[in-house]
Amino acid sequence: MNSGIPTVDLSPFFAEGDDEGKRKAIKIIGHACSEYGFFQVVNHGVPVELMKRALALSKTFFDYPTEEKLKSGPVPGTPIPAGYSRQPERSADKNEFFMMFPPGSSFNVYPINPPGFRDVLEEMFSQFVNTGRIIENIIDECLGLPSNLLTEYNDDRKWDLMSAFRYFPATERENTGVADHKDVNCITFVFQDEVGGLEVQKDENWIPVTPVEGTLIVNVGDVIQVLSNDRFKSASHRVVRQARDRHSYAFFYNIGGDKWVEPLPQFTTEIKEAPKYKGFLFKEYLQLRSRNKTQPPTRAEDVISIKHYSIRRQ
């Protein structure tokens, strides 16, 4: 089935000797990151049965009464609400989610039920980290960067996070699950159930990403766009609510909050090209993006995005 975005087989990266398969995958991913900002991967290392079990357990969890889910609610005072949360009814993003940081983090709140949910979440987290490292190394290759450059730059896994989502059905007045936006981080992984609803913007058109069992949807975020000086794009995407509940997982492969982000010299000084962005601390950009939600601007043009750091030239 055509998913609407390029699909890549990652199996050559789990075996020795298939250099031609690796070259083919690198070529497709490089084109996808420059044209779409999105692609899908199969044979990605995350066990398909684990993905199916994770979806089944999250559906069970979200079907519990609210008072049961709130037993796994966020701890007051944490910077991001680990555990169960629900978007306020006044928000356009009407959904509920369960969020976790790396296993062992003091911020985590684990689900009491259903049995085995915590173990599956922790295993999913570990699997996503491994796949993130593979994709990161592939992006090095796609951009012609030295081997492991991004891995050495992005060496703090404490900022990664994962969420299980439930989006409520569309109504006659509202079908927005998540409004169009771009991801702030390095790389995002998503897998959705058969209901679907994810759409990617390309050339002013919205492309539905058709669910295909066992695939992971991958997109590069604002950090990669800046580091590559716009070689790769962070694409707008949204979730359109459907006639029934939609379940999905998202894993955000981040960088440390104290990391300085600016175009790499390989795309500026070394090729005598002007940087398109001024540098910034990642955590400061996170704070500005969070303010979009906590203190929504009255004018659309005041919403903070990566354009906030663009260098405008005469």
Q: Which CATH superfamily is domain 7-264 in?
A: B-lactam Antibiotic, Isopenicillin N Synthase; Chain (2.60.120.330)
Q: Is the model more confident about 242 or about 221?
A: 221
Please give the Cα distance from 23 to 180 (Å, whole number).
Answer: 33
**DSSP β-ladder status, 216-220 and 187-192:** antiparallel
Which pair of structure tokens corresponds to residue 278? 């001024």
DSSP 8-state class, residue 272: T
pLDDT averaged over every residue in the chain:
91
Of 130, 80, 67, nearest in space to 109 by CA? 80
Sequence-ordered alpha helix ranges (H) in 81-191: 117-143, 149-153
Which residue type occupies 228?
S
pLDDT category, 313, cuts 50, 70, 90? low
Amino acid in the structure at residue 301: E
The domain segmentation of the chain, as residue ranges, is 7-264
Q: Is the dihedral of CA 309, 142, 151, 221 positive or negative?
A: positive
Asked if pLDDT for residue 314 goes beyond 50, the answer is: no
Question: Can you give the C-alpha Rg of the chain in angstroms?
Answer: 19
pTM: 0.93
**What are the pLDDT digits (tens) for 245-266?**
999 999 999 999 999 999 999 9
More confidently predicted of 22 and 241: 22
Q: What are phi and psi of 280, to 5 degrees?
A: -160, 160
**HEC profile of 42-65:** ECCCCCHHHHHHHHHHHHHHHCCC
pLDDT tens digits along 103-138: 998 889 999 899 999 999 999 999 999 999 999 999
